Structure 1
């Protein structure tokens, strides 16, 4: 296991290096921060002075090597737009994204797995057909359209939940969290539900297919023949054996929700890192974009590494050479 972890960390370092080159070069090709920040009324002298102040007057390879050297020292640079360290900006917005993603994951697992197990155990019941229809519709609706429907139904028609903003927060370990504030939790429900719907549908399908496959295995038929009570049969024998694909998809979806929550955060005006990324792209804030992509890549790598370790815990037959 240790050699596997070390090998994965080495591969991750190479992946991060390639990602930094691609993103840095891409931002240089498609955008000009000086033109965006200087404005149309700036003179050529103003543009040259701004480029020199930002370090953009040097050759591209020199800019990248300087950036890479700073990253190795833990310095991701200073935002062109905000004039603040990039990591400070990202970590300031990160708790807002993590808490709404956490709530979405809780909703996905809490509703998806029980619905999937029920569907797998009761394939011919009308409720199973209803669950199948709901999950198909929920998985097919575009995320932004679904968000607008949530706002229309719960904020405009029913007026039970706020439509935008983060609401009041409670400080915990130096972070401002809405999750610990009852009123702030009301502001979280719509964006979390918008992120959680697709996850609920996916978990339902995975749990249903896993249940249908596992229930006809020899050990499950033997356990039923022994007269094991259904709650114990499901909790100890069934659930444990369907969790590996669920862990895989959950790990991937966790990274995806964190990385690509941009649409949800924009529609609901949720001040997370997704909205920060969108603003940075629009304003050509290159250090923020590059740092964001590198950190998200690192997050994906670590999440999948943890998922691989969980595999071995769930199923001792899995071993990594």
Structure 2
């Protein structure tokens, strides 16, 4: 039987206080909102059934439970992704880093936004489940090594090694750039205007020479099934899409994963989510999600 929670609030109150944080951990681990919500729901079931009398720090306890469940879930979904049709991208996560009072200010907010960006989540896909867990807990949320070691049931030296390997891997494939949000918006608007007009020179003006376009359709919609590289190929592909046109398509700027993105809707239903990875005044990656399963949660 669970201990009396009256001194620190009911079990539900305590859990709800940390739900947003737990979803943040699970989403960064799994890249899909539905999987993250399933993990958090399982965490709630375990929390509600636990003997909470000995739990001095609910946040740490819940983080431990959620991380372990996320590691197990990640191992399961990775097996399914081996048969996924085409490239796999994270589910676009609507964010607004300016409004919620619970979001920290300053440098911590920047770190949280970076850790949930498409570019970083794509790189995290290439880490092992344990490396990913260590990276998320350490780099995104600043957990001490001792606490991460207890969570993963590993020694502190082993966790430090995992952290070093994961950090090196991420930094090698995703160098840090200081991106001005206004520059991000400006380049997104210029890309969108050139794309809508089928303006190839306009597209080439904003695309980096080695730009990549990664499309995720899951075999259920239209998108390239291979990663497309070079400004000329990406520019011609985007211009060709605009020339084909889609009846009833409405386009709006939104915020996905901490950055300005584009949501296209058709007849009131989400059709395409687009996020640009911007650095040095150019677009270096174009992430295109058309898989309806990953767009269902996006409101027009």
Q: TM-score range by the shorter chain?
A: under 0.3
Q: Determine which structure has more spread, i.e. the larger CA radius of gyration.
A: 1
The structure with more strand, counted as a fraction of residues: 2
The structure with more helix, counted as a fraction of residues: 1
Q: Normalising by structure 1, what TM-score?
A: 0.22
Q: Normalising by structure 2, what TM-score?
A: 0.23
